[in-house]
Structure 1
Amino acid sequence: MTFLDDFMIRAALAGLGLALAAAPLGCFVVWRRMAYFGDATAHAAILGVALSLAFSTSIFAGVLVVSLGMALTVAALSGRGFALDTMLGVLAHSALAFGLVAASFLSGIRIDLMAYLFGDILAVMPPDLAVIWGGAALVLGLIAWRWSHLLTATLNPDLAFSEGIDPKREQLVLTLALAIVVAVAIKVVGALLITAMLIIPAAAARPFSRTPEGMALVAIGVAGFSVLAGLRASYHFDTPTGPTIVCVVAVLFALSVSIAGMSGRGRGG
């Protein structure tokens, strides 16, 4: 029996890979108030799954292409006079609906939609781990490479322009990273919970961080702990694993807000 023969170890490694990729990217999602952007991209993942199965291609590749296409579409349409919330509602839910309908036409192909909607982390196999950790490494590499430029473009676009940084180019880097995270995360937490794993660890880390780098590191810790605690709770209480992980991170966020609120009142008194 090898190390990776234990399904719980594979699940833990898959979740930790997702935490490493999603948490630092989630900080930029929170700073830029891009939660809507993540939702639209994640909802498109189901359409990517259906198209991948229809054309007998890699699920990861199909989800990546469709998610990237959705992210680029949202980025292109924003700022062109469209009502953003309306546009995102149309795109996100239309993509999800078309994906579900397309999946119903896949005759002769057995597809577990619940696994793609809410994740199936306990079914992760070694090849899936290679994809998840490869994607995580790519996202971390992109963020580390562009960190200072991404940060400047996020905090002060005018300053970015004056320093020769193109905010639209940095937005494109984030768009690519977001599509990769969606493609990686669909196996772990599913299309409907991906945005939660992006924004909640970052939001929980925010009150306890004095620097952007510190916030990214704390967010990784929150996400990693949530994965391990969620796996344990799911195993003990026989609950769905992906949603349980998100429940744990939601509880941590609530504790974070409560502690930050009490600390604020203490300083005020």
Structure 2
Amino acid sequence: MMDDFMIRAALAGIGVAFAAAPLGCFVVWRRMAYFGDATAHAAILGVALSLAFSMSIFVGTVVVALLMALVVSILSGRGYAMDTLLGVLAHSAIAFGLVAVSFLSGVRIDLMAYLFGDILAVSQDDLAVIWGGAVLVVALIGWRWSALLTSTLNEDLAYASRINPKREQLALTFALAITVAVAIKVVGVLLIAAMLIIPAAAARPLSRTPEGMALMAGLIGVVSAIIGLRAAYVFDTPAGPSIVCIAALTFLVTSVFKAVRPQR
């Protein structure tokens, strides 16, 4: 019989996979991988501010992630290349976050847990936050699915259909901020982008429709979380990185399957 902490860890991993699956598909389709990575890096600054002002880490990371997205939106049309802008903001945010943490007196913080996750230390309160955030993300993506898909495929088509692509981008950014906030406890800042991108990329060769890709990405994420946790328990390896390793191996398998499958 599984220990309670392993059951909580498994439920946390499934919750993160549940949130990251549909969102990760849009990150892949829109080529927003670096944006997701930058948002995750900014979470460290959110953690530092949350501890400094004695507020919820979930709230702090969401606020900082949304502020970073706002700054990107304001500066992106003013002569800055998007990859340069994201690189500056991502590395600046994590640097300022790490420096800010060093100034917190009387606060004990395990930086490794925030950088690489500490899924085995997930509490019942953490589970409530993770699953609450996951349900919110899935509900938001489900509600805006058609509009998000249309604006992803073609902005001109979106405008013709009376859809505002900037509004859909804002909805996607809000969902990304929530996902980062709930995933930080599970896989950590440095691996959040991996859980967004890898399951979705692994699902792509196996899917014929956008909806099918989202469902397959969710399945791959859930299986990766369960097998990765089991592998971490058996081989005494870090849980968060083990989950990502299983997802990466799945991506390798599906990529090989795509390469050897006869083209139609």
Partner of 2:150: 152
Q: Deviations over 1:79-137 (max 9, x none)?
A: 33212221111100010000001001111100000000000000000000000000000
Share of identical aligned residues, percent? 73
Deviation at 1:74, TM superposition (A): 1.8
* More divergent stretch after superposition (111-120 vs 81-90): 81-90
RMSD: 1.4
Alignment match of 2:99 (pick from 98, 101, 104): 101
Partner of 1:252: 250
1:1-269 residue pairs with structure 2 within 5 A? 6-263=4-261, 266-267=262-263
Q: Does structure 2 conserve the Cα–Cα contact (< 8 Å) formed by 1:72 and 1:175?
A: no
After superposing on structure 2, the runs of 4+ consecutive aligned residues of structure 1 that deviate more than 4 Å are none
Look up the SS of the partner of 1:44 in the other structure. Answer: helix
Q: Which runs of 5+ in 2 are unaligned?
A: none
Look up the SS of the partner of 1:188 in the other structure. Answer: coil
Q: Matches of 1:86 and 1:108 in 2, distance apart?
A: 37
Q: Does structure 2 conserve the Cα–Cα contact (< 8 Å) formed by 1:40 and 1:71?
A: no
Q: Matches of 2:55 and 2:73 in 1, distance apart?
A: 27
Q: Does structure 2 conserve the Cα–Cα contact (< 8 Å) formed by 1:208 and 1:215?
A: yes
Q: Which runs of 5+ in 1 are unaligned?
A: none
Q: TM-score, normalised by structure 1?
A: 0.96
Deviation at 1:5, TM superposition (A): 7.2
Q: Matches of 1:141 and 1:238 in 2, distance apart?
A: 36
Q: Matches of 1:96 and 1:224 in 2, distance apart?
A: 28
Amino acid at match of 2:254: S
Amino acid at match of 2:59: A
Amino acid at match of 1:148: S
Q: Matches of 2:182 and 2:117 in 1, distance apart?
A: 11
Q: Matches of 2:24 and 2:212 in 1, distance apart?
A: 13
Q: Matches of 1:7 and 1:133 in 2, distance apart?
A: 16
Q: Matches of 1:84 and 1:194 in 2, distance apart?
A: 20
Q: Matches of 1:231 and 1:256 in 2, distance apart?
A: 21
Q: Does structure 2 conserve the Cα–Cα contact (< 8 Å) formed by 1:21 and 1:137?
A: yes
Deviation at 1:200, TM superposition (A): 0.5
Q: TM-score, normalised by structure 2?
A: 0.97
Q: Matches of 1:225 and 1:132 in 2, distance apart?
A: 18
Q: Does structure 2 conserve the Cα–Cα contact (< 8 Å) formed by 1:23 and 1:223?
A: yes
Look up the SS of the partner of 1:192 in the other structure. Answer: helix
Q: Deviations over 1:201-251 (max 9, x none)?
A: 000000111100000000000000000000000000000000110011001
Look up the SS of the partner of 2:78 in the other structure. Answer: coil
Q: Does structure 2 conserve the Cα–Cα contact (< 8 Å) formed by 1:10 and 1:129?
A: yes
Q: Residues 158 and 4 of structure 1: is their aligned pair in 2 closer, same or farther, counting only changes over 3 Å? A: farther
